[in-house]
Structure formats: C-alpha cells, structure tokens
C-alpha cells in the first residue's frame, strides 16, 4: 500500500506542477495539495511545452491513477488529481475523459464530506456534461449544487466561476438574455474580491453575449475592456478568447480588415498555448468569414479547410456549417 501511495503522490504532484506551468493565470487548487509522502520525487517542468508533452504521454496512466486512488479510498488525491488534469483534458478535446474524471472526483469528495471539493466537482461535472451532450436537468442540477455550496462556503470566486459556466449553458440553449444575466453576476462576484482576470473574462462574456443579441457597438466596448487586463501579467488563454470575440464583432460592424487582424491574434495565442482544436477551428471559421467579406475568397477557403481538419466528432454541427460555406463558395 505504501508503494501505491508513493505512486499516486508522484502523479498528483507532477500533474499539479504541469497544470500550473501550462495555465499560470488559472486559480490554484481550492485546498492545499495533499502532502507528498517521504521518498516521492514529483516531476518538474522548464516550460509549458514540456508540461504539455508530459500530459499527452501520461494521459491514460493519469486516468488509471485516478481510478486507483478512488478504488483505494485515497479520496483527497482522487479529486485533486481530477482538478490537475481537467484543464489539459478540456483543451485537448478529451471531454469524455474529463467527464469520467469528475464523476469519480465527485464520489470521492462526497465520501470525504468536503464541501469545497464537492462544489468544484459539481461545477466541473456540469460543464463536462454540457460539452458531451448530457441531459439539461443533469447539467442544471450540478451547477445549481455548485452555486449553493459556494454560497454556503462564502466563496465568491467559486460563485463567479460557476456563473461564468452558466453563461455557456444558456448560450448553448439559445437563451441569451439569461446568459447575459449570469455574465453580470459573474462580474459582480469577481469585482467583490478584486479578481482581475475574472473581471476580464466577464467583460468578454458580456461583449460576446451582446454581440449575439445584435448590440455590436456596445459589445465591442465591453470586449475591448478585457484586453489590457489580460496583459498584466499575461493571460494568453483569456486573451485568445477575447480576440476571437473582438474579431466577430468587428466583422459584424463591417470592419473586415480589423477583424482579420483580431482573428489572427487569437490564432497566434491559441497555437502558442499548444492548440485547442475546437477553439482554433472556431477562430479559423471566423477568419474565413471575415476574409470572404473583405473580398479574399481563396484565403477564406484556405481558412475553412484548415478548420475542417481540426473539428472532432463532437463538433459535427460546426463542421457541417463550414462544409456548407465551402460548397456555397464553390458554386459561386
């Protein structure tokens, strides 16, 4: 059993170090990481590329280690390992792995009786269900549980993060007024604790939602408020999303050349972070739209073809939309 514990300690501490190296702007784990047993020598990483390579190579071992931690009732390690893996699994498109990890983590957190761990597990599990096509009542149940627990714990950061996920939920359902309400609630939570990156993400969420509602001028003001914050220190992950929003709004305002520049900023940041296939495909699609509107059909077709090569099976609807663009362009 001691050997199993040293193995699990190695993976939870090394995964945590890798996650912090790849996503330095992300908030650290909610509770102190469980102390490593003597004799454990966790891995260290010189840069984000090295950390990302380790995650890629160890993904299947990490999922097995998480199950082992849960099976041997080492529940603190189980939920903290899920936390450390979650960002990589999300951005690499391994949503079903992420869903399974958080299902295991929630069971572990409930056995511990740890409300903070449960709140984080409910929030992430609700988001994973949304991305994998889970039933709406299940998504709502987990996110409602997260909000309730974060309120009980007096954790405005947790509440803000949950409201931010609810923005995605209501966008997905096409209820943009409700999405806008949650974006403003997220902003209020972040402002209450002076959380600058959270405020920036909320500015972007408000801008994106206003743009979908057709309020492009106001939307651009909100989205552009995020960019200076995302440079101090750098939050390249957040900035990539904001540049994508700005590009979309500029395109809608007829500012085609500026939209192309903004989309290329977004793509540069996404690729520097190691690539998120879904986000890169989305920005390429928007870039193609802006190029076509700006009178560059060949360049637009190239961007759309690149997007098609990145879509996964979970992106069938988006891929079909890009194929329709290419077919229409070919007919023209």
Exposure on the CB side of residue 146, measured as CA atoms within 13 A: 27
Written as tens digits, the pLDDT of the chain (332 aa) is: 778 888 898 999 999 999 988 888 777 776 567 676 776 777 789 888 899 999 999 999 999 999 999 999 999 999 999 999 999 998 888 989 999 999 999 999 999 999 999 999 999 999 999 999 989 999 999 999 999 999 999 999 999 999 999 999 999 999 999 999 999 999 999 999 999 999 999 999 999 999 999 999 999 999 999 999 998 767 888 999 999 999 999 999 999 999 999 999 999 999 988 767 888 999 999 999 999 999 999 999 999 999 999 886 666 788 899 999 999 998 87
pTM score of the predicted model: 0.89
Q: What are phi and psi of 231, to 5 degrees?
A: -110, 5
* Crossing angle of the two packed helices 2-22 and 48-71, in degrees rounded to 10: 140
Q: Indicate the SS3 state at residue 260.
A: helix
Position 313 scores a pLDDT of 61
According to the model, what pLDDT value does residue 60 have? 96
The answer to whether residues 16 and 34 touch, using CB atoms and an 8 Å cutoff, is no
pLDDT at position 31 is 58
- Supply the pLDDT for residue 39: 64
- Helical H runs in 253-276? 256-272
Q: Which domains does the chain have, with CATH numbers?
A: 1-114 (no CATH), 237-332 (1.25.40.10)
């Amino acid at each position: 059993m001691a050997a199993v514990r040293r193995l699990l300690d190695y993976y939870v501490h090394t995964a945590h170090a890798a996650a912090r190296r790849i996503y330095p702007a992300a908030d650290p784990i909610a509770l102190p990481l469980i102390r490593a047993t003597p004799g454990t020598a966790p891995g260290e990483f010189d840069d984000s590329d090295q950390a990302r390579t380790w995650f890629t190579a160890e993904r299947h071992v990490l999922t097995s280690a998480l199950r082992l931690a849960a099976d041997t009732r080492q529940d603190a390690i189980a939920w903290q390992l899920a936390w450390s893996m979650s960002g990589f699994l999300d951005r690499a498109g391994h949503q079903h792995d992420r869903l399974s990890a958080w299902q295991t983590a929630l069971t572990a957190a409930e056995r511990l009786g740890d409300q903070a761990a449960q709140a984080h597990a409910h929030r992430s599990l609700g988001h994973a269900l949304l991305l994998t096509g889970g039933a709406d009542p299940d998504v709502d149940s987990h996110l409602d549980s997260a909000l309730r627990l974060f309120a009980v714990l007096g954790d405005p950061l947790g509440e803000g993060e949950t409201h931010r996920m609810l923005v995605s939920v209501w966008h997905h359902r096409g209820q943009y007024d409700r999405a806008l309400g949650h974006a403003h609630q997220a902003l209020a939570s972040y402002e209450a604790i002076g959380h600058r990156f959270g405020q920036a993400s909320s500015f972007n969420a408000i801008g994106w939602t206003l743009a979908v509602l057709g309020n492009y001028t106001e939307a651009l003001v909100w989205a552009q408020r995020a960019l200076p914050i995302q440079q101090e220190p750098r939050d390249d992950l957040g900035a990539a999303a904001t540049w994508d929003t700005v590009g979309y709004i500029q395109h809608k305002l007829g500012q085609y050349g500026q939209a192309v520049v903004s989309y290329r900023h977004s793509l540069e940041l996404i690729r520097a972070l190691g690539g998120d296939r879904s986000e890169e495909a989305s920005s390429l699609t928007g870039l193609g739209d802006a190029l076509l509107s700006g009178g560059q059909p060949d360049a637009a077709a190239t961007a759309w073809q690149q997007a098609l090569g990145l879509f996964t099976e979970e992106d069938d609807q988006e891929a079909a939309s890009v194929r329709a663009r290419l077919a229409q362009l070919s007919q023209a």
